[in-house]
Structure 1
Amino acid sequence: MAVSPYFRSPFTDLTGGLVSHQLLGKCQKEEIRYMDCLEAYGLDRGKVKCQHLFGDFHECQTMTLQFKRFMAMRKERERQIAEGKLKGDAKWVSPTADSY
């Protein structure tokens, strides 16, 4: 038997923001979309129907894809340095601000 995502009481109303990302969290939007989807479908069906929203929320929390991109860029820079394509100060030049 599963417990519903929200158990409402005056205590949870007062302290609910402490265990979520809704108070100054960077993942506010992803979390509320996921919780709204779970509320619409229920916990059991929601786990299947809302999987894509959970994936977005999980990525926002853990930043694993961002870290993998960072490691790939670092590996490419080290490869170019080893091949001699980047020399001297060009090895450590940061990208321009508008290159993202």
Structure 2
Amino acid sequence: MSLTPFLRLPLTDLTGCLINHQTYDKCGKFEMKMMDCLEAYGLERGKTQCSELIGDFQECVGMQKQLLRFHAMRNERYRQWLAGERKREDLFAEPPRVDAY
């Protein structure tokens, strides 16, 4: 895990600030907390001291647990349909109204 580019050039200095999550409401706070912690402890010690914050940020960006939960629910509905516990029309929830958004 490195926070600096492999090859440091003036171009990487100019474009380095473009790749962050501060402009998005979803993960900006997680990134800021993680970066503050890494700045306080340094990169090597920060890997262990800030591991919870790093994990929270990675989950916010990658959504691995959310996708696993989605797949588990979808597979369970499909299993129930195959076993005859659920009807075909009840396989998925009703979609929202067209003007609901």
| TM-score using structure 2 length | 0.73
- What secondary structure is seen at the aligned counterpart in 1 of 2:91? helix
**What is the identity percentage for the equivalent residue pairs of Structure 1 and Structure 2?**
49
Distance 1:24 1:16, change over 3 A: farther
CA offset digits 1:23-73 (Å, max 9, x no partner): 235210110000010111122211110011100000111111110000000
Structure ranking higher on relative contact order (CA contacts 8 Å, 6+ apart) = 1
Partner of 1:78: 78
Aligned mates of 2:84, 2:23 — CA distance in 1: 49
Q: How far is 1:93 from its partner?
A: 2.4
The answer as to whether partners of 2:81 and 2:88 remain within 8 angstroms in 1 is no
Partner of 2:66: 66
Partner of 1:46: 46
Partner of 1:19: 19
The answer as to whether partners of 2:30 and 2:56 remain within 8 angstroms in 1 is yes
AA at the equivalent of 1:18: L
Aligned mates of 1:43, 1:33 — CA distance in 2: 14
AA at the equivalent of 2:57: F
Specify every segment of 5 or more residues in structure 2 that has no aligned partner in the other structure, as ranges: 5-11, 97-101
Specify every segment of 5 or more residues in structure 1 that has no aligned partner in the other structure, as ranges: 6-10
Partner of 2:31: 31
The answer as to whether partners of 1:41 and 1:49 remain within 8 angstroms in 2 is yes
- What secondary structure is seen at the aligned counterpart in 2 of 1:76? helix
Q: How far is 1:88 from its partner?
A: 3.7
What is the total number of aligned residue pairs between the two structures? 88
